[in-house]
Structures are given as C-alpha cells and as structure tokens.
C-alpha cells in the first residue's frame, strides 16, 4: 500500500538519516497529499506510479497557482521517496529518474532595516527578568543568525571559549560554531545573572538557556509571539516580522557591511551556497534603491 510505503520512508529519514523534524514534517505532508491524489486516479501501489502521473500531479499544482518553491519541494519529496523504494527493491522502476524539478522562484526574504531592528532591541531595556530574557533572545537571534528551532533547543552547555562562542545544533544534527558578539554577549550575561533563575525556579534539571514563565523550554510559537509583541511596541507591523525575518536581517546586514558570502553561509549553517546567495539579491535591490539618489540616475 502506498500509505504504508510512505510511513516506512518517513521513519527511515527521521531515525536513520537524522533529518530535521521540520523537513520530515514537510515531506510527510507533501507525500500524503500526493498519495491522496494517486488514489483519486486509481493508483493503489507505488509500483503502479508512472512518470506521467508525477508530471500530471505537478502540472495540476502549477495550474492551481502553487508556488514554484512548493512544487520543487514536493518534487524533491517524491523523488527521494521513490529512490528509497527502488534502493530497497520495493519497486522495480523509479519513475522519477531523469525528471527535472520545477525551477525555484527567487523569492527575496523580508528584512527589516538596521534602524528598525535597533529600535526593537533597544526598546526592551527594563531590568525585569522578562525584559532581560526577551532582550537576550532577540539579540542572540539577530546577532548569531539562529533558526528559531535552534534558539528553542539552545542548552547551557552550548557556550564555549569562555562564553564568546555558541555551539549550535542545526538541521540534520549538524553542529556549527557561531560567534556571540558584544551586544548579544552583554544581553546574555545580564539575563543569566539576573533573569534566568526567576524562570527555572531552582530546577537544576532544566538546562535550556531560554525558559518560559512555567519553567519550560520555549516552543517556536512562543518565540514568534514574543517577537511580534516587541515589534508592535515600536510600530513594526506584524506581517513584517518573525523569527526567520531576524535571521534574514542577520545575513543581509552582514552582507551590506562587507561580510564574505561564504562566511555567511557557514554562520547560517547552509549546506548549499545557493541558499545563501539569495541575500546577494536582497543587497542588490537595496543598492538599486540607493543608486536612484544619484544626480544622473
């Protein structure tokens, strides 16, 4: 059965290949959607799937207005699943071989200006435990370029080199070392000295750096809520900001100040330089706007 083959594959990529939870969740959604479509055309086993079936599915997605990036992700999920089945002799032929994935659209990430980020960070300035925690969270996200899942998972033993570096566990459990920076370092020192114990309530078993009022590790949704609240306080619209926007700001602002694209790739934990190169488009768009000020433009 197609559904059983998909579940076998999902188990394998999570527990054997160590793919991130987010990737596994995305692939699960894509493949279950594909399976539902296959049932609608009378396909009951993976061995019955043809190349034309896959092409028809993707064409239908395109005609329905599905973004190229989503179609490319679904194609990747289908190809990886069928390759897995072929390698384990669960199907005789992989119908996705030699298929070209849909071209990804170059979608420029949303970024805030440096002044907007500074306003949001500097507005969190009280000495209450909550403000100390929130300021440290924002400074670390922006100063270190962390994914929100990486911030949630950050443990007290992640600090290395006398607190000047962070050991971060990224996608696929790949570790990288990230400099903390002076502003993030000061915010972290204040929070760890005067704020964190309020939330942990003496629970030495709690090792997460950032802890909620209930003494637990944050969820992604919890951090998202805090960022939007802090942004709204300085007049930044909710649809302009998210945890990932701060990560985009880290990369874009670093590039604008002359950082090498390869260095940014390493700091962000991107496996492929192509993922990082989108920020060169952002910077080019920024420079194009500035150039309009030239008297001979």
Instruction: Name the residues annotated as catalytic.
Output: 147, 171, 244, 247, 270, 279
DSSP class per residue in 227-275: HHHHHHTTT--GGG--HHHHHHHHHHHHHHTT--HHHHHHHHT-SSHHH
Q: What is the 3-state secondary structure (H, E, C) of the chain?
A: CHHHHHHHHHHHHHHCCCCCHHHHHHHHHHHHHHHHHHHHCCCCCHHHCCHHHHHHHHHHHHHCCCCHHHHHHHHHHHHHHHHHHHHCCCCCCCCCCCCCCCCCCCCCCCCCCHHHHHHHHHCCCCCCHHHHHHHHHHHHHHHHCCCHHHHHHCEHHHEECCCCEEEEECHHHCEEEEECCHHHHHHHHHHHHHCHHHHHCCCCCCCECCECCCCCECCHHHHHHHHHHHHHCCCCCHHHCCHHHHHHHHHHHHHHCCCCHHHHHHHHCCCCHHHHCHHHHHHHHHHHHHHCCCCCC
> How many beta carbons lie within 10 A of that of residue 245, not counting itself?
21
9, 85 contact by CB (below 8 A): yes
């Amino acid at each position: 059965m197609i559904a059983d083959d998909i579940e076998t594959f999902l188990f394998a990529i999570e527990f054997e290949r160590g793919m991130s939870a987010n990737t596994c969740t995305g692939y699960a959604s894509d493949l279950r959607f594909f399976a539902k479509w296959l049932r609608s055309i009378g396909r009951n086993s993976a061995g019955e799937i043809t190349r034309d079936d896959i092409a028809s599915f993707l064409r239908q997605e395109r005609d329905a207005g599905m973004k190229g990036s989503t179609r490319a992700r679904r194609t990747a999920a289908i190809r990886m699943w069928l390759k897995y089945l072929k390698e384990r002799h669960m199907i005789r032929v992989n119908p996705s071989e030699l298929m070209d994935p849909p071209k990804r659209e170059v979608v420029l990430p949303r970024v805030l200006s440096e002044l907007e980020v500074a306003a949001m960070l500097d507005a969190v300035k009280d000495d209450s435990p909550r403000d100390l925690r929130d300021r440290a969270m924002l400074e670390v996200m922006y100063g270190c370029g962390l994914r929100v899942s990486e911030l949630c998972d950050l443990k007290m033993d992640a600090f290395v080199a006398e607190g000047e570096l962070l050991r971060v566990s990224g996608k696929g459990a790949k570790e990288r070392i990230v400099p903390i920076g002076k502003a993030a370092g000061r915010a972290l020192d204040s929070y760890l000295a005067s704020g964190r114990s309020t939330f942990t309530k003496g629970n030495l078993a709690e090792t997460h750096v950032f802890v909620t009022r209930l003494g637990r590790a944050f969820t992604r949704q919890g951090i998202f809520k805090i960022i939007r609240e802090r942004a709204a306080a300085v007049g930044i619209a909710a649809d302009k900001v998210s945890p990932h926007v701060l990560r985009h700001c880290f990369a874009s602002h670093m590039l604008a100040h002359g950082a090498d694209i390869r260095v940014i790739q390493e700091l962000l934990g991107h496996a492929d330089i192509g993922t990082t190169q989108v920020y060169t488009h952002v910077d080019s768009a920024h420079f194009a706007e500035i150039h309009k000020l030239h008297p001979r433009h």
